[in-house]
């Protein structure tokens, strides 16, 4: 059984912001497709992704400079951020605390 995946409100806002930007570039559908692919992989086996900050794991988005930061295990996954990789990581790390 795959773990349930939940987006925190801040992560949903990240996703909407990025989608809006990519939609203006006519690549919004591709961006959402890649998000769907990576979240499927996260649900299948969250532990395949490296821990990058304490217990937080990172899944890189193929074809886009974004990463999905999440916590969890086989029982459940919480997406903390959908973040552009060049942004200051302290911005998503502050959400942990």
Which of 39, 54, 53 minimizes the C-alpha distance to 89?
A: 53
Instruction: For residue 16, count other CB atoms closer than 10 A to its CB.
Output: 11
Which of 45, 72, 43 minimizes the C-alpha distance to 57?
A: 72
Q: Which is higher by pLDDT, 94 or 15? A: 15
Work out the average pLDDT over 19-47.
95
Q: How confident is the model at residue 87 (pLDDT cuts 50, 70, 90)?
A: confident
Q: Are 88 and 76 in contact (CB under 8 A)?
A: no
Q: What is the pTM of this model?
A: 0.90
Q: Does residue 20 have a pLDDT over 80? A: yes
Q: Which is higher by pLDDT, 76 or 30? A: 30
Work out the average pLDDT over 33-42.
96
């Amino acid at each position: 059984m795959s773990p349930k995946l939940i987006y925190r409100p801040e992560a949903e806002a990240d996703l909407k912001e990025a989608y809006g930007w990519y939609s203006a570039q006519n690549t919004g559908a591709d961006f959402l497709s890649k998000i769907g692919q990576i979240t499927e992989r996260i649900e299948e086996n969250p532990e395949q992704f490296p821990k990058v900050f304490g217990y937080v794991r990172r899944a890189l988005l193929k074809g886009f400079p974004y990463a999905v930061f999440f916590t969890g295990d086989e029982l459940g996954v919480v997406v903390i951020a959908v973040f552009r990789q060049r942004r200051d990581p302290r911005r998503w790390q502050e959400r942990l605390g």
